[in-house]
Amino acid sequence: MSAVLILHHHNQAQWPQLFGAVEQLSQPFDVIVCAPQPLVVVANAQAVMRLPVSDHDDPQAIARALLPHCQRHQQVLMAADPYGRELLPLLASMLDRPMVSEVTAIAGQQWQRPAWAGAIEQQFDGAGIECCLSVRASGFAATACRGDGSALPEQLLAAPAATALVRQVQPLASARPPLATASTVIAVGRGVATAEQWQLVEALADKLGAAIGGTRPVIDAGALPSELQIGQTGQLIAPQRYIGLGISGATQHMAGIKQAETVIAVNQDGAAPLMQLADFALVGDLQQILPELMEIL
């Protein structure tokens, strides 16, 4: 009985947490890295392999190239990120196996995932089941490798090229820390409505070294790009500090911040759901509170 963890070069910062997740299965595992160039991998794995890919390769071709290496493993794991959400269902279909998505806790063959926008936690018993798991890296502690554990991956045959119309999406370029891994996140809601307030938000983020994200209405209004949406249909974050500005707290947004360690909220409505959830809630006008906060810092 063994597992295989599939990584890709875009989520390299989360590899330690993903190694921590697969080790919770308490069984031997291999690692396959999907990357255009060789990368040194530090993991307690039986074998480390690299599948040469580029950002414009057809996901189905990548899945077909991975298929023979996944068939000999009981469980196939990937991160629950945009890359994994596209590739792993294709693999599960080709393997004819069930898939458990957005796993947040693993204890051997017992797994847990949120459901109904985080309102309940589902428990799964995977003993003896061949399946695919997508895991939320933010829910797992980084692994500590025993010994050196370094390996330059063995190269696999590249995915066959396919004739296709390609639309390439470039990653969002920003001087701020990535939203998924930032220790401090400032989330913006419809309560941040003026250009002056946005300038104050950005200045606050600069002082705190924070990432900026937004609720779905803010994204739909075009104030922030879709990559910065926080919530069930956006990014699921686990920062040390979450600061919500002008956010009432819709269910789908709250599902995205369940793993935040400390929640700070500022809103004029003290009865808003996010204000009730927050560890620290400040009732007041952002126009007045943000300048005062900047002076304190």
Quick check: is 168 in a domain?
A: no
Burial 133-171 (b: 16+ CB within 10 A, else e): bbbbbbbbeebeeeeeeeeebeebebbeeeeeeeeeeee
Q: Average pLDDT, stretch 72-95?
A: 94
Instruction: Decide if 171 is inside a domain.
Output: no
Average pLDDT rounded to a whole number, residues 290-295: 87
For residue 111, pLDDT over 90 is answered with yes
**Which pair of structure tokens corresponds to residue 279?**
């560890």
Q: pLDDT digit string (tens) for 223-232? A: 999 889 999 8
CA 234 – CA 260 distance, rounded (Å): 15
Helix orientation angle between 195-208 and 286-296, rounded to the nearest 10 degrees:
30
Are 217 and 277 within one domain? yes
The structure's pTM equals 0.72
Q: Whose CA is closest to 219, among 185, 189, 252?
A: 189
Joined tokens for residue 251: 């269910």
Cα separation, 263 vs 275, in Å, equals 9
Mean pLDDT of 30-37: 91
CA angle 209, 174, 7 (to 5 degrees): 95
163 within some domain: no
Residue 116: per-residue pLDDT: 81
pLDDT in tens, 120-131: 889 999 888 999
Same domain, 146 and 189: no
Tens digit of each residue's pLDDT (9 = 90 or more) over 274-283: 999 999 999 9
User: Domain residues for 261?
Assistant: 184-296
Q: Specify whether 110 is located in the same domain as 236.
A: no
- Is 220 found in the same domain as 273? yes
pLDDT digits (tens, 9 = 90+) for 138-195: 889 988 655 444 555 677 766 555 555 555 555 556 678 999 889 999 999 999 988 8
Q: What residues contact residue 121 under an 8 Å CB cut-off, 6+ apart?
A: 104, 112, 113, 114, 115
Q: What is the mean pLDDT of residues 59-80?
A: 93
Q: How far is the C-alpha of 19 from the C-alpha of 5, rounded, in Å?
A: 8
62 and 192: one domain?
no
- Cβ neighbors of 93 (< 8 A, separation 6 or more) are none
Q: Are residues 12 and 141 in the same domain?
A: yes
Amino acid at residue number 33: V
Mean residue pLDDT of the chain comes to 88
52-66, 85-99, 149-163 — most confident range:
85-99
Distant-in-sequence, close-in-space partners of 270: CB < 8 Å, separation ≥ 6? 281, 283
User: Does 70 map to a domain?
Assistant: yes
177 part of a folded domain: no
Looking at the 3D structure of the chain, how many domains does it have?
Answer: 2
Residue 86 shares a structural domain with residue 219 = no
Spatial CB neighbours of 157, under 8 Å, sequence gap ≥ 6 = 65
The pLDDT score that the predictor gives to residue 120 is 85
- Beta strand 241-245 with 211-214 is unpaired
Q: Is residue 238 a part of any domain in this protein?
A: yes
Q: Tokens 């189905």 label which residue?
A: 60
Q: What is the DSSP letter of 230?
A: B
In the chain, pLDDT over 90 holds for what percent of residues? 60
Among 48-57, 136-145, 149-158, 234-243, the least confident range:
149-158
